[in-house]
Structure 1
Amino acid sequence: MPTKQLHSERPKMAYSCYHTRNREGEQFVPEHIFGYQISGSMMMSDGQKEIVFNPDDFRFIRRNNLVKFLKIPAPNGDFKSVSVYLDQQTLRNFSMEYGFKATGHYAGGDAAIKLPPQPLYKSFMESIIPYQSADITIDDKLQDLKLREAILILLQSKPEIKDILFDFNEPGKIDLEGFMEKNFHFNVQLKRFAYLTGRSLATFKRDFEKIYHITPSRWLQQRRLQEAYYLIKEKGKSASDIYIDLGFEDLSHFSYAFKNKYGVAPSRL
């Protein structure tokens, strides 16, 4: 069973369940996520640091980040997790009602944070799990109440998290070259790269071509192929091991692009 949204329109809570097969992917995280690993494990990377979430682990994933993930079912079992999406409007409403505000910048820069075990976390998540049943739908008012409960629990157990939850600033304009060298392997739309570097899409493309004298799409493919060549030639990696990690959607496209650039198939390098 794939991820089941616990709300019919805009999901704010979701239950994921997969059988026997690993699921791999990557995504832009637009909202903070408070999650609980029920069974199986999740490997997550922001391109710089990798973290593994095992059964009974709780996680907090920060918004405006790019992450890669691998969902691994338990041996002879399932991958199961629950995710609560703390959207900006809910957090703004909470901030105005209760007077919580960010008072500084959160020191940790990781996209994903493993939260220490906390009985309140588990009791909260267990109160949500029954709603994954096909014949139960969460009412909007009840959903809002559960989101507020999640925020209060996070604030009580980890007070410093307010500097993440109530920081409503959008990404500022940052060094484009440094950002792209760090994140070129993420297969996301150009508008996401533009947003995360504090630019409109048009400004991003203009600034990019001033630096690289080439279009972003063409540079991304060349940079990914350059990294692939290094990993295969110098590190002995196989094409099937690296093509997804480098932002290619399928192996055949990667092999074709590689041969077109280097004149030899990756398997023959």
Structure 2
Amino acid sequence: MAAAKTNSKPQILYSCYYARSREGENFIPEHVFSYQIAGEMIVSDGRTTKTLKAGEYRFSRRNHLAKFVKIPPEGGEFKTISLFLDQEILREISNEYNIVSEKKIQGDAMFSLKPHPLYHSFMTSLQSYLEVEQKDNEVLFNLKIKEAVLLLLKVNPELKDILFDFNDPGKIDLEAFMNKNFHFNVHLNRFAYLTGRSLATFKRDFQKIFQESPGHWLLNKRLQEAYYLIKEKGKTPSEVYIDVGFEDLSHFSFSFKKKFGIVPSSL
């Protein structure tokens, strides 16, 4: 369960989970500055897997794919505060302070930030703001977001080249990207964007490379991977269906039986 006092496009989000959770889209659309209050989060971006613990600060990079497992402490709740640093506010800061990105930074989708007294004071001050509806206080919350960005630049100045890189992803090798990232549960328009293409161009290029539609290819690829994990690695259907990109177990089981003629549990 998640609790948050936000509008439809929250800038500051307080999340609370009472049970282990792997929900949510696997795409990070905006930079996020977060503080882990209680519990742990396991993050995998396809290259590395990290465990972020209570008391840690983290930075999530926009335009990245990642899977999240949220784990509450024994007998307690998973709690985190996240600030979404959207492009509009970052552009305002860039223009106001004449801050620009000077080089392209590659790296993980999410990484830890060293604790700092300024971070602690800032996150503590946010507790009272969470009692205020954001919908009618956009100016107030914009100021808090700007404050967070300036704190990040002061404590971690190397983030400048990440925060103020406003470029969209460039065109990349579609075949290599899809074979590496098919297990992320995102819409086709996300895959298209991350490979530097419009949705129409993505579908056209995909058909040329794989000789079938993206939807059909993704379904078969995910089912084949699931079959391997269950048959050869001994995993259960409930363990693999999210890992290979399905949203729910019933849809996975139905699709699996339709393709292989047997239910996944029979393996």
With the shorter chain as reference, the TM-score category is over 0.9
Once the two structures are superposed, residues 214-236 of structure 1 have per-residue CA deviations (whole angstroms, 9 ceiling, x without a partner) of: 00000001000111111112111
Secondary structure at 1:63 match in 2? coil
Conserved? CA contact 1:26–1:66, under 8 Å: no
The 2-side partners of 1:228 and 1:146 are apart by: 44
Alignment partner of 1:201 is 2:199: yes
Per the alignment, residue 243 of structure 1 pairs with 241
Which of residues 96, 109, 112 in structure 1 aligns to 2:110? 112
More divergent stretch after superposition (209-218 vs 240-249): 240-249
Secondary structure at 1:10 match in 2? coil
Conserved? CA contact 1:26–1:186, under 8 Å: no
Conserved? CA contact 2:64–2:109, under 8 Å: yes
Runs of 4+ in 1 over 4 A off after TM superposition: none
Alignment partner of 1:137 is 2:133: yes
Once the two structures are superposed, residues 141-166 of structure 1 have per-residue CA deviations (whole angstroms, 9 ceiling, x without a partner) of: 22122111111111111111101000
The 2-side partners of 1:131 and 1:79 are apart by: 20
Conserved? CA contact 2:40–2:71, under 8 Å: yes
Per the alignment, residue 2 of structure 1 pairs with 2
Per the alignment, residue 232 of structure 1 pairs with 230
Q: CA deviation at 1:65?
A: 1.2
- 1:209-220 aligned at under 5 Å gives the runs 209-220=207-218
Conserved? CA contact 2:5–2:133, under 8 Å: no
Q: Judging changes above 3 Å, is the alpha-carbon distance between structure 1 residues 141 and 256 closer, same or farther for their aligned structure 2 residues? A: closer
Per the alignment, residue 82 of structure 2 pairs with 83
Once the two structures are superposed, residues 9-65 of structure 1 have per-residue CA deviations (whole angstroms, 9 ceiling, x without a partner) of: 53111111122x112124221110000000111111112211111111100000011
The AA in structure 1 aligned to 2:127 is I
Secondary structure at 2:23 match in 1? strand
CA-based RMSD: 1.4
Alignment partner of 1:167 is 2:141: no
Unaligned runs of 5+ in 2: none
Unaligned runs of 5+ in 1: none
- 1:64-75 aligned at under 5 Å gives the runs 64-75=63-74
TM-score if structure 2 supplies the norm length? 0.94
Once the two structures are superposed, residues 123-180 of structure 1 have per-residue CA deviations (whole angstroms, 9 ceiling, x without a partner) of: 11111122223xx335322212211111111111111110100000001111101110
Conserved? CA contact 2:93–2:146, under 8 Å: yes
The 1-side partners of 2:206 and 2:42 are apart by: 32
The 2-side partners of 1:261 and 1:10 are apart by: 39
The 2-side partners of 1:265 and 1:221 are apart by: 16
The 1-side partners of 2:92 and 2:159 are apart by: 17
The 2-side partners of 1:228 and 1:191 are apart by: 24
Secondary structure at 1:25 match in 2? coil
The AA in structure 2 aligned to 1:88 is Q
Q: CA deviation at 1:203?
A: 0.4
Once the two structures are superposed, residues 95-118 of structure 1 have per-residue CA deviations (whole angstroms, 9 ceiling, x without a partner) of: 011011111122x41000111111
The AA in structure 2 aligned to 1:2 is A
The 2-side partners of 1:17 and 1:250 are apart by: 22
Per the alignment, residue 61 of structure 2 pairs with 62
Secondary structure at 1:143 match in 2? helix
The AA in structure 1 aligned to 2:17 is Y
Which of residues 175, 181, 187 in structure 1 aligns to 2:185? 187
The AA in structure 2 aligned to 1:69 is F
Which of residues 237, 256, 262 in structure 1 aligns to 2:254? 256
The 2-side partners of 1:98 and 1:137 are apart by: 29
The AA in structure 2 aligned to 1:245 is D
TM-score if structure 1 supplies the norm length? 0.94
Conserved? CA contact 1:82–1:129, under 8 Å: no
The 2-side partners of 1:78 and 1:246 are apart by: 27
The AA in structure 1 aligned to 2:181 is N
The 2-side partners of 1:267 and 1:149 are apart by: 52
The 1-side partners of 2:90 and 2:2 are apart by: 28
